[in-house]
Amino acid sequence: MTTIDRRAASALIGGAFLGFGLGRPKPALAQTSEFPEKPVTLVVPFAAGGSTDLVARVIAQKMGEILGVQVLVDNKGGAGGNLGASFVAKAAPDGYTILMGTIATHALVASLYSTPPFDPVKDFTPISWLVTVPNVLAVNPEFPAKTVADLVRMAKEKPGEYAYASSGNGTPLHLSGELFKSLTGVDLVHVPYQGSGPALVDVIGGQVPIIFDNLPSSTEPIRAGQLRALAVTTKTRAASFPDLPTMEEAGVSGYETNTWNAFFGPAGLPPEIVAKLNAAAVAAVKDPAVAKRLGEAGAVVVGSTPDELATHVSSEIARWKPVIEKSGAKID
């Protein structure tokens, strides 16, 4: 199997999203002596190069134009997103430190941990649900499996021999793999990373043959032939890859997973600051250029109110609890 230089692969992943650049920030709103008076830090709880990071950078750049201050992305990866989320939960509720939250930090954590490191409801202020993101099952192009059925057959012939990469323990991509194992009866070894970026580097380089990833971060490697996509994990096909079957269509009955990205602040964030951040976030994701870039990468724009995000978080905690219990996944 050909091994691609790690640095080159990493550069390819990051470079795939250089087209997301939307120009230098230009103030779009008249500023007052009130918030914001200085740059806002957007904490991404995963390593650079993954889907959450890439979506965050596209939105942050446009938000900076709208707010008239920079929105600086700060990657704090580790513990399946919990290190970065914990950092924001403890930050001052002044609007200058916000979180790019995910299904991992605000739905899975409630059931995966015997003692969660934070309360996803009580320790945060919802700002806006930004996008929904399909996941994808993909393999290194030199791996023999051409379809999901091929992968299942190979894994059953050699149980425990093949490994799959994910963005970390307790992430939706980890659980996507565990659900796949549960529904197909295969034995795959889980290899967790501190984000999709480093996981992709190793799968592209051939160190691990299989990956469950968010579609945005895998889009360009798939189009470039560095990955072979086998199926998306959502109920319906992704608009950006209309010929790619769903997991259900590929023969895994009852399979459905996805992820999402949303902005949260620390608990106690003042309503007037929430309103300003929400207005900027919604305007950013619904900007035609931003929406087009996100759509090309497989993300579906939402742009919700704070109350809609709060309702979504509660429903997601309830939805994932039985899935986690059935999979047997637990982190202590």
For the chain, the average pLDDT equals: 89
The mean pLDDT of 70-85, rounded to a whole number, is 94
Whether residue 36 is preceded by a cis peptide bond, meaning omega within 30 degrees of 0, is yes
The mean pLDDT of 139-161, rounded to a whole number, is 98
The band of 170, judged by pLDDT with boundaries at 50, 70 and 90, is confident
* Of 304, 81, 75, the residue nearest 172 (C-alpha): 81
Stated pTM of the model: 0.78
Give me the residue label for tokens 């001052």: 92
Backbone angle region of 95, left / alpha / beta, with phi > 0 → left and psi within -120 to 50 → alpha: left
- pLDDT per residue as tens digits for the range 300-319: 999 999 999 999 999 999 98
Contact criterion met (CB below 8 Å) for 216 and 297? yes
The mean per-residue pLDDT over the stretch 248-268 comes to 95
Work out the percent of the chain whose per-residue pLDDT is above 90: 71
Residue 226: predicted pLDDT: 98
Return the CATH number of the domain spanning residue range 19-132+259-327: 3.40.190.150
Is the separation of the CB atoms in 177 and 164 below 8 Å? yes
pLDDT given for residue 310 in this prediction: 98
Distance between CA 42 and CA 56 in Å, rounded?
Answer: 8
* Nearby residues of 8 by Cβ (< 8 Å), 6 or more positions away: none
Domain layout of the chain by residue ranges: 19-132+259-327
Supply the pLDDT for residue 21. 43
Per-residue CA distances from 155 to 60, 64, 166, 206, 250 (Å):
41, 47, 18, 17, 16
pLDDT of 19 higher than 70: no
Residue type, 208: V
Cα 284 to the center of its chain, rounded Å:
18
Residues 85 and 207: beta-carbon distance below 8 Å = no
Q: Measuring CA to CA, which residue among 330, 312, 9, 49 is closest to residue 174?
A: 330
In this prediction, residue 33 carries a pLDDT of 52
Structure tokens at 193: 């990373």
Contact 72, 60 (CB under 8 A): yes
Task: Say if residue 15's pLDDT is above 50.
Answer: no
pLDDT digits over 104-138, tens only? Answer: 999 999 888 888 899 999 999 999 999 999 999 99
Q: Compute the average pLDDT of residues 63-76.
A: 98
Q: Give the separation between CA 118 and CA 99, rounded to whole angstroms.
A: 14
- 51-67 and 196-204 helices, crossing angle to 10°: 130
User: Measured between alpha carbons, how far is 285 from 266 in angstroms, rounded to an integer?
Assistant: 22
Query: What pLDDT band is residue 17 in, cutting at 50, 70 and 90?
Result: very low
